[in-house]
Copies of this chain bind each other. A is one copy, B any other.
Amino acid sequence: MARIVMKFGGTSVGDIDRIKNVAQRVKREVDSGNEVAVVVSAMSGVTNQLVDWCKQIAPLHDAREYDTVVATGEQVTIGLLSIALQEMGVSARSWCGWQVPIRTDGVHGKARIMAIDTDDMAVRMADGQVAVVAGFQGIGPDNRISTLGRGGSDTSAVALAAALQADRCDIYTDVDGVYTTDPRIVAKARKLDKITYEEMLELASVGAKVLQTRSVEMAMKHRVRVQVLSSFVDAPGTLVCDEDEIVEKELVSGIAYSRDEAKITLVRVPDQPGVAASIFGPLAEAAINVDMIVQNVSDDGRSTDLTFTVGKADLDRARKVIEEARGKLSFERLAADPNVVKVSVIGVGMRSHAGIAQKMFQTLASEGINIQVISTSEIKISVLIDEKYTELALRALHAAYDLDAA
- Chain A residues proximal to chain B, CB less than 8 Å: 16, 19-20, 50, 53-54, 56-58, 61-62, 64-69, 71-72, 75-76, 78-80, 82-84, 86-87, 93-94, 96, 98-99, 143-145
* Chain B CB within 10 A, most for which of A57, A61, A96, A98: A57
CB contact between A68 and one of B67, B71, B79 (< 8 Å): that residue = B79
Cβ B78 vs Cβ A68 within 8 A:
yes
- The reply to whether B84 and A75 contact each other, CB–CB distance below 8 Å, is no
**B87, A57: Cβ atoms closer than 8 Å:** yes
Say yes or no: B79 contacts A66, CB within 8 Å. Answer: yes
Rounded to whole angstroms, the CA-CA distance of A135 and B93 in the bound complex is 24
Bound CA span A343–B79, Å: 44
Q: Which 10 A-B pairs have the closest CB atoms?
A: A69-B79, A72-B72, A68-B79, A58-B87, A65-B79, A65-B82, A61-B83, A57-B83, A16-B56, A57-B84
Task: Decide: A68 near B61, CB < 8 A? Known: A80-B54, A98-B98.
Answer: no
B86:A62 contact, CB within 8 angstroms:
yes
Which residue of B69, B93, B143 is within 8 Å of A76 (Cβ)?
B69
Chain B residues near A87: list those with CB within 8 A: 57-58, 61
Q: A98-B98, A99-B143, A143-B99 are in contact. Are A80 and B64 (CB under 8 A)?
A: no
**Which of B71, B75, B84, B143 makes the CB contact (< 8 A) with A58?**
B84
Name the B residues within 8 Å of A86 (CB-CB). Answer: 58, 61-62, 65
Contact A68 B57 (CB under 8 A): no
Q: With A and B bound together, what is the CA distance between A69 and B74 in angstroms?
A: 9
Most buried by B among A20, A64, A76: A76
A83 touches B54 (CB 8 A): yes
Measured in the bound complex, the distance between the Cα atoms of B82 and A317 in whole Å is 34
Residues of B within 8 A of A62 (CB): 82-83, 86
Contact flag A69-B75 (CB < 8 Å), given A53-B80, A80-B53, A99-B143: yes
Q: How far is the CB of A334 from chain B (nearest CB, A)?
A: 41
Question: Do residues B50 and A76 form an inter-chain contact, with CB atoms below 8 A?
Answer: yes
Chain B contacts for A67, CB-based, 8 A: 79
> 10 new A-B pairs (CB below 8 Å) besides A54-B79, A57-B87, A62-B82?
A16-B57, A19-B57, A57-B83, A58-B87, A65-B79, A67-B79, A68-B75, A68-B96, A69-B76, A99-B143
Ordered by A's residue number, 27 sampled pairs between the chains whose C-beta atoms are within 8 Å are A16-B57, A19-B57, A53-B76, A54-B79, A54-B83, A57-B83, A57-B84, A58-B83, A58-B86, A58-B87, A61-B86, A62-B86, A64-B94, A65-B79, A65-B80, A65-B86, A68-B75, A68-B78, A68-B79, A68-B94, A69-B75, A69-B76, A69-B80, A69-B83, A96-B145, A98-B98, A99-B144
